[in-house]
Chain A
Amino acid sequence: QVQLVQSGAEVKKPGASVKVSCKASGYTFTNYAISWVRQAPGQGLEWMGWISAYNGNTKYAQKVQGRVTLTTDTSTSTAYMELRSLRSDDTAVYFCARASVYSTSSPDYWGQGTLVTVSS
Protein backbone atom coordinates (compact mmCIF):
# COMPACT_ATOMS: atom_id res chain seq x y z
CA GLN A 1 0.00 0.00 0.00
CA VAL A 2 1.12 3.54 -0.68
CA GLN A 3 2.65 5.24 2.35
CA LEU A 4 4.40 8.53 2.94
CA VAL A 5 6.19 8.69 6.28
CA GLN A 6 7.53 12.03 7.43
CA SER A 7 10.26 12.90 9.89
CA GLY A 8 9.51 13.99 13.42
CA ALA A 9 8.64 17.32 14.98
CA GLU A 10 11.23 20.09 15.05
CA VAL A 11 11.77 23.14 17.21
CA LYS A 12 13.90 25.85 15.67
CA LYS A 13 15.00 29.36 16.50
CA PRO A 14 14.22 32.28 14.21
CA GLY A 15 16.76 32.51 11.42
CA ALA A 16 17.57 28.80 11.48
CA SER A 17 16.80 26.20 8.82
CA VAL A 18 14.77 23.02 8.92
CA LYS A 19 14.77 20.00 6.63
CA VAL A 20 11.76 17.69 6.64
CA SER A 21 11.88 14.27 5.00
CA CYS A 22 9.11 12.26 3.39
CA LYS A 23 9.86 8.58 2.70
CA ALA A 24 7.64 6.95 0.10
CA SER A 25 6.81 3.28 -0.24
CA GLY A 26 4.32 1.07 -2.02
CA TYR A 27 4.70 2.62 -5.47
CA THR A 28 7.34 3.50 -8.05
CA PHE A 29 8.72 6.76 -6.66
CA THR A 30 9.95 8.15 -9.99
CA ASN A 31 6.52 7.79 -11.61
CA TYR A 32 5.10 10.57 -9.46
CA ALA A 33 5.79 13.96 -7.95
CA ILE A 34 5.61 15.22 -4.38
CA SER A 35 3.72 18.32 -3.30
CA TRP A 36 4.36 20.10 -0.02
CA VAL A 37 1.55 21.80 1.87
CA ARG A 38 1.60 23.53 5.24
CA GLN A 39 -1.01 24.46 7.80
CA ALA A 40 -0.43 27.10 10.45
CA PRO A 41 -2.20 26.53 13.78
CA GLY A 42 -5.94 26.94 13.35
CA GLN A 43 -5.56 27.97 9.70
CA GLY A 44 -6.25 26.51 6.29
CA LEU A 45 -4.04 24.61 3.88
CA GLU A 46 -1.30 26.43 1.98
CA TRP A 47 0.45 24.96 -1.04
CA MET A 48 4.22 25.47 -0.89
CA GLY A 49 5.68 23.66 -3.85
CA TRP A 50 6.02 20.60 -6.06
CA ILE A 51 8.89 18.45 -7.22
CA SER A 52 8.89 15.80 -9.90
CA ALA A 53 10.60 12.65 -8.67
CA TYR A 54 10.99 11.76 -12.34
CA ASN A 55 13.30 14.60 -13.37
CA GLY A 56 13.67 16.92 -10.37
CA ASN A 57 11.69 19.78 -11.87
CA THR A 58 10.30 22.10 -9.22
CA LYS A 59 7.60 24.72 -8.72
CA TYR A 60 7.42 27.00 -5.69
CA ALA A 61 4.88 29.32 -4.14
CA GLN A 62 5.97 32.92 -4.38
CA LYS A 63 5.53 33.36 -0.62
CA VAL A 64 8.40 30.98 0.17
CA GLN A 65 10.39 31.20 -3.05
CA GLY A 66 14.02 31.90 -2.26
CA ARG A 67 13.77 30.32 1.20
CA VAL A 68 12.61 26.82 0.28
CA THR A 69 14.33 24.03 -1.60
CA LEU A 70 12.68 20.77 -2.58
CA THR A 71 14.81 17.77 -3.42
CA THR A 72 14.46 14.04 -3.88
CA ASP A 73 16.73 11.05 -3.37
CA THR A 74 15.53 8.40 -5.78
CA SER A 75 17.86 5.79 -4.27
CA THR A 76 15.87 5.91 -1.04
CA SER A 77 12.51 7.11 -2.42
CA THR A 78 12.66 10.10 -0.13
CA ALA A 79 11.64 13.70 -0.71
CA TYR A 80 12.97 16.62 1.30
CA MET A 81 11.74 20.11 2.04
CA GLU A 82 14.29 22.58 3.39
CA LEU A 83 13.09 25.96 4.65
CA ARG A 84 15.65 28.60 5.59
CA SER A 85 15.62 31.88 7.49
CA LEU A 86 12.77 30.63 9.63
CA ARG A 87 10.30 33.12 11.09
CA SER A 88 7.63 32.71 13.71
CA ASP A 89 4.95 32.62 11.02
CA ASP A 90 6.59 29.49 9.56
CA THR A 91 5.29 27.61 12.60
CA ALA A 92 3.00 25.04 11.02
CA VAL A 93 2.38 21.40 10.28
CA TYR A 94 4.10 20.50 7.01
CA PHE A 95 2.62 17.77 4.84
CA CYS A 96 3.99 15.96 1.83
CA ALA A 97 1.57 14.43 -0.65
CA ARG A 98 1.93 12.25 -3.73
CA ALA A 99 1.12 14.24 -6.84
CA SER A 100 1.00 13.56 -10.54
CA VAL A 101 4.01 14.28 -12.71
CA TYR A 102 1.87 15.74 -15.49
CA SER A 103 -0.52 17.71 -13.28
CA THR A 104 -3.36 15.47 -14.38
CA SER A 105 -4.72 14.88 -10.90
CA SER A 106 -4.82 16.32 -7.42
CA PRO A 107 -2.57 14.86 -4.70
CA ASP A 108 -3.92 11.56 -3.45
CA TYR A 109 -1.84 10.06 -0.62
CA TRP A 110 -0.53 12.27 2.20
CA GLY A 111 2.11 11.98 4.87
CA GLN A 112 1.14 12.24 8.52
CA GLY A 113 2.51 15.77 8.86
CA THR A 114 5.52 17.26 10.64
CA LEU A 115 5.10 20.03 13.18
CA VAL A 116 7.75 22.72 12.88
CA THR A 117 7.77 25.23 15.71
CA VAL A 118 9.80 28.41 15.34
CA SER A 119 10.38 30.08 18.67
CA SER A 120 13.14 31.96 20.42
Chain B
Amino acid sequence: DIQMTQSPSSLSASVGDRVTITCRASQDIRNDLGWYQQKPGKAPKRLIYAASTLQSGVPSRFSGSGSGTEFTLTISSLQPEDFATYYCLQHNSYPRTFGQGTKLEIK
Protein backbone atom coordinates (compact mmCIF):
# COMPACT_ATOMS: atom_id res chain seq x y z
CA ASP B 1 0.00 0.00 0.00
CA ILE B 2 1.11 3.56 -0.62
CA GLN B 3 1.54 5.52 2.61
CA MET B 4 0.70 9.22 2.57
CA THR B 5 2.50 11.16 5.28
CA GLN B 6 0.91 14.54 5.83
CA SER B 7 2.42 17.34 7.90
CA PRO B 8 1.88 19.14 10.08
CA SER B 9 -0.98 17.40 11.86
CA SER B 10 -2.14 20.75 13.23
CA LEU B 11 -1.35 24.35 12.53
CA SER B 12 -2.25 27.62 14.19
CA ALA B 13 -2.31 30.65 11.95
CA SER B 14 -3.84 34.08 11.63
CA VAL B 15 -6.06 35.64 9.01
CA GLY B 16 -3.85 36.85 6.19
CA ASP B 17 -1.06 34.32 6.83
CA ARG B 18 0.41 32.13 4.14
CA VAL B 19 0.36 28.44 5.07
CA THR B 20 1.73 25.32 3.47
CA ILE B 21 0.72 21.72 4.07
CA THR B 22 2.82 18.83 2.79
CA CYS B 23 2.07 15.27 1.75
CA ARG B 24 4.77 12.74 1.05
CA ALA B 25 4.01 9.50 -0.75
CA SER B 26 5.93 6.32 0.04
CA GLN B 27 6.40 5.74 -3.69
CA ASP B 28 6.04 7.62 -6.96
CA ILE B 29 2.40 8.53 -7.60
CA ARG B 30 3.07 10.87 -10.56
CA ASN B 31 0.50 13.66 -10.08
CA ASP B 32 -2.34 11.37 -8.97
CA LEU B 33 -3.24 13.42 -5.92
CA GLY B 34 -6.15 15.49 -4.70
CA TRP B 35 -6.51 17.93 -1.83
CA TYR B 36 -9.69 18.20 0.23
CA GLN B 37 -11.07 20.59 2.80
CA GLN B 38 -13.45 19.33 5.46
CA LYS B 39 -15.43 21.38 7.94
CA PRO B 40 -17.05 19.82 11.03
CA GLY B 41 -20.14 17.80 10.22
CA LYS B 42 -19.69 18.24 6.47
CA ALA B 43 -18.49 16.13 3.58
CA PRO B 44 -15.00 16.75 2.19
CA LYS B 45 -14.77 19.29 -0.61
CA ARG B 46 -12.21 18.88 -3.37
CA LEU B 47 -9.92 21.89 -3.74
CA ILE B 48 -7.20 20.63 -6.06
CA TYR B 49 -6.95 17.68 -8.45
CA ALA B 50 -4.09 16.28 -10.48
CA ALA B 51 -1.82 17.76 -7.79
CA SER B 52 -2.01 21.32 -9.08
CA THR B 53 -5.31 21.97 -10.90
CA LEU B 54 -7.71 24.22 -9.04
CA GLN B 55 -11.24 22.88 -8.76
CA SER B 56 -13.78 25.15 -10.43
CA GLY B 57 -15.25 27.61 -7.95
CA VAL B 58 -12.39 27.33 -5.47
CA PRO B 59 -10.69 30.64 -4.61
CA SER B 60 -7.36 31.27 -6.28
CA ARG B 61 -5.63 31.70 -2.91
CA PHE B 62 -5.48 27.89 -2.87
CA SER B 63 -2.76 26.27 -4.93
CA GLY B 64 -1.16 22.87 -5.20
CA SER B 65 2.20 21.74 -6.44
CA GLY B 66 4.43 18.72 -6.67
CA SER B 67 4.73 15.41 -8.42
CA GLY B 68 6.26 12.03 -7.71
CA THR B 69 6.46 11.80 -3.94
CA GLU B 70 6.31 15.38 -2.62
CA PHE B 71 3.21 17.55 -2.73
CA THR B 72 2.17 20.81 -1.16
CA LEU B 73 -1.06 22.71 -0.65
CA THR B 74 -0.59 26.43 -0.13
CA ILE B 75 -3.11 28.99 1.03
CA SER B 76 -1.68 32.36 0.12
CA SER B 77 -3.71 34.55 2.47
CA LEU B 78 -5.86 32.81 5.05
CA GLN B 79 -9.48 33.83 5.28
CA PRO B 80 -11.78 33.08 8.23
CA GLU B 81 -13.66 30.45 6.23
CA ASP B 82 -10.42 28.51 5.58
CA PHE B 83 -10.11 27.22 9.12
CA ALA B 84 -10.86 23.53 8.63
CA THR B 85 -9.15 20.18 8.28
CA TYR B 86 -7.28 19.37 5.07
CA TYR B 87 -6.52 15.95 3.58
CA CYS B 88 -4.54 14.67 0.64
CA LEU B 89 -5.64 11.55 -1.26
CA GLN B 90 -3.63 9.47 -3.71
CA HIS B 91 -5.48 7.75 -6.55
CA ASN B 92 -2.47 6.20 -8.27
CA SER B 93 -3.08 2.69 -7.01
CA TYR B 94 -5.39 0.62 -4.84
CA PRO B 95 -6.06 0.86 -2.01
CA ARG B 96 -6.52 4.61 -2.19
CA THR B 97 -4.96 6.27 0.82
CA PHE B 98 -5.49 9.55 2.59
CA GLY B 99 -3.03 11.61 4.55
CA GLN B 100 -3.74 11.80 8.27
CA GLY B 101 -5.13 15.31 7.97
CA THR B 102 -4.04 18.81 8.99
CA LYS B 103 -6.26 20.75 11.34
CA LEU B 104 -5.89 24.46 10.65
CA GLU B 105 -6.86 26.54 13.64
CA ILE B 106 -7.11 30.23 14.34
CA LYS B 107 -4.21 31.67 16.33
Contacts and interface: CB of A to CB of B under 8 A. Distances in A.
Interface of A: 35, 37, 44-47, 50, 59-62, 95, 97, 99-100, 103, 105-108, 110-113
Contacts, number: 61
B43 A95 contact: yes
Interface stretch (B10-18, B19-27, B67-75, B96-104): B96-104
| Interface residues of A, dominant DSSP | loop
Interface of B: 32-34, 36, 38, 43-46, 49-50, 55, 87, 89, 91-92, 94-101
B37 to A, nearest CB: 11
A105 B34 CA distance: 8
21 contacts: A37-B44, A44-B98, A44-B100, A45-B44, A45-B89, A45-B98, A45-B101, A47-B96, A47-B98, A50-B96, A59-B94, A59-B95, A60-B95, A97-B43, A100-B91, A106-B49, A106-B91, A108-B49, A110-B43, A110-B45, A112-B43
